[in-house]
Amino acid sequence: MPSRDFPPTCGIQSNSVPRPLVVAGVPEHFNLPWHLAIESGQFADAGIQVQFQDVPGGTGAMMKGLSENTFDIAIVLSEGGVASLLKGNPSWIVKSYVETPLIWGIHVAADSDIHDVDQIRDQRYAISRFGSGSHLMSIVDAAERGWPTTDLRFEKIGDLEGARKALASGDADTFLWERFTTSPFVVSGEFRRIGERRTLWPAFIICATSEVLQKRADDVKTVLKILNETCRTFMMDEQACELISNRYDLLKSDVEKWFAQTRWSIDFACPTAAIDNIKSYLLELGLITEAESTSRALWYDFNT
């Protein structure tokens, strides 16, 4: 693979006790394996402290945090992560995380005059931030429906709580978010789900900063090996659905449907086809330039 361009400030780690590795992720059910590994002491037993930081703002906020070295590792949506890396974020994909597609719910306020997904054309989309999954998938959904994508209107709302306020106040008209996360708001009558959009690629990847890979690549790889085993065990756990339902306040029937169609990665295989597919789609939609699409390698090979 091409040589890695690490920041000039990166150096060799000192002999002092390493600080915790800061892992960023959304506070959602996909990331339960991380919490289980932390709570069971598996990382600590390997001599590595891992601190998980919830980031409700999603992929855009996490990729910004990686670029500023606020986080060491982040679990991000594949399309948002790839787009950010191609635009110069000094980080790397180190692992595939959730290999199955993400299902986005298309939502409106329960009292909205919009009752059919075709009616969201030319309406205002609530997005967590530009470059986020909610932003990119709003464009993907419009493109897949054959609508123009250059004049879409967006309202930046920060996170799911911001979207709830924006739809309720009429500051935005529609909102795309992972359908099982928003299920409680649909059940309560706050949101109405009028459609769905399945990603055309695996849902999540894991990215790490150039700095942490320069200084602590062995620690990062050890953490990811432990995560692989945790995910393997989790997918075979007969109590997993009940655990998810209780911890994330989701209907068990919804969790069972989601769990049955979700597969976590348990190896270090590079998702080459998925990355290429995302790059092609981003280029087709004008979200990256031709030069950006070929600007750099994105995958970090721990064996190089």
Of 155, 174, 198, the last residue of a domain is 198
- In terms of domains, do 180 and 216 share one? no
What is the residue range of 259's domain? 21-101+202-293
Sign of the Cα torsion 303, 221, 296, 6 reads negative
pLDDT of 283 reads: 92
- Do 141 and 282 lie in one domain? The reply is no
Average pLDDT of the chain, as a whole number: 93
In a domain, 15, yes or no: no
Instruction: Indicate if the pLDDT at residue 241 is higher than 60.
Output: yes
Instruction: Give pLDDT tens digits for 80-114.
Output: 999 999 999 999 999 999 999 999 999 999 999 99
Residue ending a domain, choose from 198, 222, 238: 198
128 and 187 in one domain?
Answer: yes
For position 11, what pLDDT does the model report?
38
5 part of a folded domain? no
pLDDT over 50 at 189, yes or no: yes
Q: Do both 258 and 215 map to the same domain?
A: yes
Last residue of a domain, one of 175, 198, 221: 198
Same domain, 208 and 81: yes
> How many other C-beta atoms can be found within 10 angstroms of the C-beta atom of residue 96?
23
Mean pLDDT, residues 242-263 taken together: 95
Same domain (yes/no): 214, 266:
yes
Return the H-helix or E-strand segment holding 201. none
pTM above 0.85, yes or no: yes
Same domain for 88 and 58, yes or no, is yes
Structure tokens that stand for 243 in this block: 């655990």
The model's pLDDT over 12-57, given as tens digits with 9 standing for 90+, comes to 444 566 899 999 999 999 999 999 999 999 999 999 999 999 999 9
- In this predicted structure, what is the pLDDT of residue 12? 40
The CATH number linked to 167 is: 3.40.190.10
Of all residues in the chain, the percent with pLDDT exceeding 70 is: 94
Are 65 and 88 found together in one domain? Answer: yes
Specify if 4 maps to a domain. Answer: no
177 and 208 belong to one structural domain: no
Burial 153-175 (b: 16+ CB within 10 A, else e): ebbbbbbbebbbebbeeeebbbb
pLDDT of residue 3: 40
240 pLDDT more than 90: yes
As a whole number, mean pLDDT of residues 160-166 equals 96
Residue 5 has what pLDDT?
52
Q: Is residue 74 part of a domain?
A: yes
Scored b (16 or more CB within 10 A) or e, 196-219 reads: ebebebbbbbbbbbbbbbbbbeeb
pLDDT in tens, 2-16: 445 544 333 344 456
Could you give the number of structural domains in the chain?
2
CA–centroid distance for 202 within its chain = 10
Q: Do 77 and 158 share a structural domain?
A: no
Q: Are residues 193 and 227 in the same domain?
A: no
